[in-house]
Amino acid sequence: MSETIQQKRPTLSYEIFPPNTQVGDEKIITVLDELKSLKPEFISVTCSNKQRNIEETTIKLSNYVQNTLHIPTKAHLPAIYLSKEQVRSVIDQLDQLGIHKLLALRGDILEDLPPVGDFKYASELVHFVKDYAPHFQISGACYPEVHPDSPNQLQDIKFLKEKVDAGCELLVTQFFLDNNVFYDFQEKCALAGIDTPILAGVMPIINRNQALRLLTSNATAIPRKFKAILDKYEHDPVALRDAGLAYALNQIVDLVTEGISGIHLYTMNQSNTALYIENAARSLFSSPIYESQ
């Protein structure tokens, strides 16, 4: 009989975003009730630079997830348009709500809106929060297909290492469709001395709008197998959704089998997506092979 290899149980977590309509507000409550039953490791709540009212969006929704649903919550905080004083205020509010997990981000730079200047890169925010509130657990974003502002992957990973050294305890990737891109990135991170867990971001592509955005953005490599799905089912919404979900499930089975730290599922506020993945892959995350830890 082969020796038992000690492996760490992979985690499954979800990303949601604060809706910006009344209808969306009502829907997200139903979505979250359904997600709650899945007992995720945590739910992360995004924060848009375009909305600019973090109290009414990210903080309010994070509070609901953390304190009404009692699910550990990670609040996203893009800081490029915030002053140090504003960041202190956000941290104080989260602290009072008992939310101590943060995804520290630079955030996207908007056309025609110059940055405030206090936080040029996410690593500066990580340093700042570690100084101001050392009890916060800070995560950072990373890009298996290289961040678009970066001249190359070597530079990108060098700066990622600086972000980790500043105090990031966990990394979450941008979504990708080719797992080999992730494995290659993970290996390069390890060679660069980055030893924090890296959660793989998986986004099921389940409708034509998502597919078209993907095709026009050019940021994500599209494997032949995935392109064939888009070509064939572009005008059949039900088949496109089913094939998109099956594709994401396949990615997850492969990633978990390869022993990655965890999956962060971009739900796009669709609880059906999370329910499908959970129902189909639950046993992989709760397998008895991890029980002896």
74 binds ligand FAD (CB under 6 A): no
User: Interface residues for ligand FAD in 170-229 (CB under 6 A)?
Assistant: 172, 174, 201
118 binds ligand FAD (CB under 6 A): no
Q: For ligand FAD, give the closer residue by CB, 142 or 243.
A: 142
Q: For ligand FAD, give the closer residue by CB, 44 or 240.
A: 44
CB of 255 to ligand FAD, least distance (A): 15
86 binds ligand FAD (CB under 6 A): no
60 binds ligand FAD (CB under 6 A): no
Please, which contacts does 155-161 make with residues 24 or more away whose CB atoms are closer than 8 Å? 157/188, 157/189, 157/192, 157/194, 158/192, 159/121, 159/123, 160/189, 160/192, 160/194, 161/192, 161/193, 161/194
Nearest to 268 by CA among 55, 18, 4: 18
Strands 198-202 and 262-266: parallel
Contact 78, 45 (CB under 8 A): no
DSSP state of 1: -
Instruction: Determine which helix (DSSP H) or strand (DSSP E) holds 172, and give its type and residue range.
Output: strand 168-173
46 binds ligand FAD (CB under 6 A): yes
Rg (CA), the chain: 19
Angle at 185 between CA 179 and CA 188, to 5 degrees: 145
156 binds ligand FAD (CB under 6 A): yes
Q: Six-digit token pair at 153?
A: 């992957």
Under 8 Å CB-to-CB from 186, ≥6 apart: which residues?
A: 144, 198, 260
101 binds ligand FAD (CB under 6 A): no
93 binds ligand FAD (CB under 6 A): no
Q: Six-digit token pair at 281?
A: 């892959």
Terminus-to-terminus CA distance in the chain, angstroms? 20
CB of 147 to ligand FAD, least distance (A): 4
Stretch that binds ligand FAD, among 89-97, 121-129, 209-217, 277-285 (CB under 6 A): 121-129
Q: For ligand FAD, give the closer residue by CB, 49 or 179.
A: 49
Q: For ligand FAD, give the closer residue by CB, 32 or 75.
A: 75
CB of 148 to ligand FAD, least distance (A): 7
As to burial, measured by CB atoms within 10 angstroms (0-12 exposed, 13-18 middle, 19+ buried), residue 200 is buried
15 is catalytic: yes
CB of 32 to ligand FAD, least distance (A): 17
Stretch that binds ligand FAD, among 94-102, 153-161, 219-227, 274-282 (CB under 6 A): 153-161
Contact 80, 115 (CB under 8 A): yes
Q: For ligand FAD, give the closer residue by CB, 74 or 241.
A: 74
CB of 190 to ligand FAD, least distance (A): 18
Beta-carbon neighbour count of residue 138 at 10 Å?
26
Catalytic residue among 15, 124, 145, 278: 15
Near ligand FAD by CB under 6 A: residue from 60, 69, 86, 108: 108
- Which residues belong to the active site? 15
Residue ranges in contact with ligand FAD by CB under 6 A? 46-49, 76, 78, 103, 105-108, 121-123, 141, 147, 149-150, 155-156, 159, 163, 172, 174, 201
